[in-house]
Amino acid sequence: MQKKMAKSDESLDELDRESSQLGMGGFTTKEADEEKYKLRMQRRKEIQSKRIEERNLEKGLIIVFTGQGKGKTTAALGMALRTLGHGDNVAIVQFIKGGWQPGEAKALKVYGDSLDWHAFGEGFTWETQDRMQDKKLSQKAWEQALLYLCSRSHKLVILDEINIAIKLGYLSLNEVIEGIKKRPALTHVVLTGRSAKEELIQQADLVTEMNLLKHPFREKGVKAQKGIEF
């Protein structure tokens, strides 16, 4: 059995290598002749079809959006919108945030009972200035999150800014890892926020790090604006 699996892995690696060698197409390829280009892309399509056919496992994913750059919550909410569009239920539990109502919460109200949205925070630490209360609210948020994680009612559970709650010592990393393991086999969970712990990254199936290249607040003194930041 192990030998068969090893051979299968080797076959998949070969498909991946050929796919990379064939490239994405366009004017990045070396062919000047359009017929040769078409043959290359036909082969690329064949390889891609085989790659998709071989990788057919379906499972609930652990997804982490982290990094210093903007877009972590935005990416998670994009997945929420996609899931809702397919007719499945979504639960969003926000840690730290809660001192304001974001535009997304207003917009997604149209999905009614298909979406459960909870914001347990009272704002940034320099606004609340009360770490005991912040910890209490984070733990309350985690209790709510666990209810969704352990049920079969939601296809997607988003734990927004939970990485920050862990970093600040408001939540136990081990408790969070054990909690997300309790979810049903096909339930996806998204964890957002800067400074995701390495142990969490190791548990995840998909990790994206948002890198900060430029930011208008820092470089140009532009304030947070509706539709962009909230």
pTM of the model: 0.86
Q: Around Cβ 22, how many Cβ atoms within 10 Å?
A: 17
Give the CATH fold of the 62-220 domain.
Answer: Rossmann fold (3.40.50)
pLDDT in tens, 11-22: 889 999 999 999
Query: What pLDDT is recorded for position 161?
Result: 96
Query: What pLDDT is recorded for position 31?
Result: 84
Query: What pLDDT is recorded for position 8?
Result: 66
CA-to-CA distance for 53 and 146, rounded, in angstroms? 35
Query: What pLDDT is recorded for position 4?
Result: 38
**What does the block give as tokens for 19?**
């796919």
Give me the DSSP letters along 48-93: HHHHHHH-----PPEEEEESSSS-HHHHHHHHHHHHHHTT--EEEE
Helix (H/G/I), strand (E/B), else coil: 186: coil
Banded pLDDT at 226 (limits 50, 70, 90): confident
First-residue to last-residue Cα distance in the chain:
52
CA-to-CA distance for 83 and 180, rounded, in angstroms? 19
CA-to-CA distance for 97 and 122, rounded, in angstroms? 6
Query: Would you say residue 218 has pLDDT above 50?
Result: yes
Of all residues in the chain, what percent carry a pLDDT higher than 90?
72
Give me the DSSP letters along 101-168: --HHHHHGGGGGGGEEEEE---S-HHHH--HHHHHHHHHHHHHHHHHHHTSSS-SEEEEETHHHHHHT
pLDDT in tens, 109-142: 999 999 999 998 888 888 888 899 999 999 999 9
pLDDT in tens, 146-202: 999 999 999 999 999 999 999 999 999 999 999 999 999 999 999 999 999 999 999
